[in-house]
Amino acid sequence: MKFDALVIGAGYAGAVTARQLAEVGNMRVLVLEQRDHIGGNAYDCKDDAGVLIHQYGPHIFHTVEKRVYDYLSRFTTWLPYEHRVVANVHGQLMPVPFNLDSLEIAFGDRAPALREKLLAAYGPEQKVTILELRKNTDPDLAELADYVYQNVFVNYTMKQWGTTPEQIDPATTARVPVFLSHDDRYFQDPYQGMPANGYTSLFARMLDHPNITVELGQDAREHLIFTPEGVKLDGEVFAGPVVYTGPVDELFDCRFGRLPYRTLDFQFETHPVDWYQTRGTVNYTVDQPYTRITEFKHMTGQEIKGVTTIVKEFSKPYSGTEGEVPYYAIISPENTALYEKYKALADALPNFHLVGRLAEYKYYNMDAIVAQALDLADRLLKNKKSE
């Protein structure tokens, strides 16, 4: 069969691009996916006990973008779910993001006075990053900032990134600000929830189009050769657009050195109880070698009695060893400069396009990838029209 477009990777970036090109552009699209399943890191499946789990870590959908929500809603209905997380601080549980209720749990009688000072300084319902709060010179607020830094951020960040909050991209800790509110949801986005039949089913519907062919277990690097005339697929120059959603350094044999990533080891445990913990996720912010424990049934709404599955996440540097997955780009000026060198090689290839969390070397949530892929597909379809 002849194809008009080639997409590498069947996660959000690849699946959304493929669907748009196939449906709106009436292009025949070949999707190559190296894993034996679709969905990328959002893939879910039932484990041996019948519990629906997220194989590559807990995924909660949330967005402020209506067009993203509407787009995905074509392929799924949603279960209402609002993620609530607590930190385990020496056995005491308190909401994360650290909020006015956490303040009360941590400071007891002193909380009202601290709350008044906080509200006077920043205003009600405001979000303040921990790095910002640490700049406050008021002695009481400085003490509070130090408490939050020590008990919520420093150990968790050391576990997750191997370094302190000051040494990582400030946008990372800004994802979980101190929140001057009683709202204990992890996200305040207007659209949030879980796909009613799971993520994999959402992907199956998105990729179910007569113009789309998905080939699993196919590492594109084994089929593609890069030449100045274009990308050769199985020996012949491929005329249409090639969309790549994997790590860009690996395309070029890591010739400038590996792009740094963090990877995770997931430890899944099934327990013969209805519930293991009271929340979807408990962050271990002062002790334990893992960062967090997630119990899937809270998130998926699955009703199954007498059994539950949890996952513990252990972070470490990505080494590129077979079987390791590059989960988190380590954003820094130096790493971004290295990424740009690889991107320049990719940009020099005719009709070759990078999209996705790996290919763009960004800390993107699912919704951002959907938006990026929709934009890329629009650009490709516009080019096609003007040809």
Selected from 67, 74, 175, 382, the binder of ligand UDP by CB under 6 A is 175
From residue 311 to residue 350, the character string flagging contacts with ligand FAD as x (rule: CB under 6 A) and all else as - is ----------------x-----------------------
From residue 259 to residue 288, the character string flagging contacts with ligand UDP as x (rule: CB under 6 A) and all else as - is ------------------------x-x---
Tell whether residue 316 is a contact of ligand UDP (CB under 6 A). Answer: no
Cα separation, 315 vs 292, in Å, equals: 10
Cα separation, 299 vs 53, in Å, equals: 10
Tell whether residue 102 is a contact of ligand UDP (CB under 6 A). Answer: no
Residue 283 binds which entry of ligand UDP, ligand FAD, none, CB below 5-8 Å type-dependent = ligand UDP
From residue 201 to residue 240, the character string flagging contacts with ligand UDP as x (rule: CB under 6 A) and all else as - is ----------------------------------------
Cα separation, 357 vs 365, in Å, equals: 8
Tokens of 193: 């929830």
Q: In whole angstroms, how close is the CB of 214 to ligand FAD at the nearest point?
A: 11
Q: In whole angstroms, how close is the CB of 351 to ligand UDP at the nearest point?
A: 33
**Lookup result for tokens 């800390």:** 363
DSSP state, 232?
E
Q: To 5 degrees, how large is the angle CA 196–CA 201–CA 202?
A: 75
- List CB contacts of 105: < 8 A, sequence separation 6 or more: 92, 93, 94
Q: To 5 degrees, how large is the angle CA 111–CA 93–CA 47?
A: 155
**Lookup result for tokens 């080939």:** 215
Closest CA to 229 of 358, 364, 349: 349
DSSP state, 185?
B
Selected from 17, 99, 192, 245, the binder of ligand FAD by CB under 6 A is 245
Selected from 126, 136, 172, 188, the binder of ligand UDP by CB under 6 A is 172
Q: Is the dihedral of CA 71, 31, 203, 246 positive or negative?
A: negative
Contacts of ligand UDP in 40-99 (CB under 6 A) = 87, 96
Could you list the residues that contact ligand FAD (CB under 6 A)? 8-14, 32-35, 40-42, 57-60, 219-221, 245-246, 264, 327, 356-358, 364-367, 369
Could you list the residues that contact ligand UDP (CB under 6 A)? 87, 96, 152-153, 156-157, 160, 172-173, 175-176, 283, 285
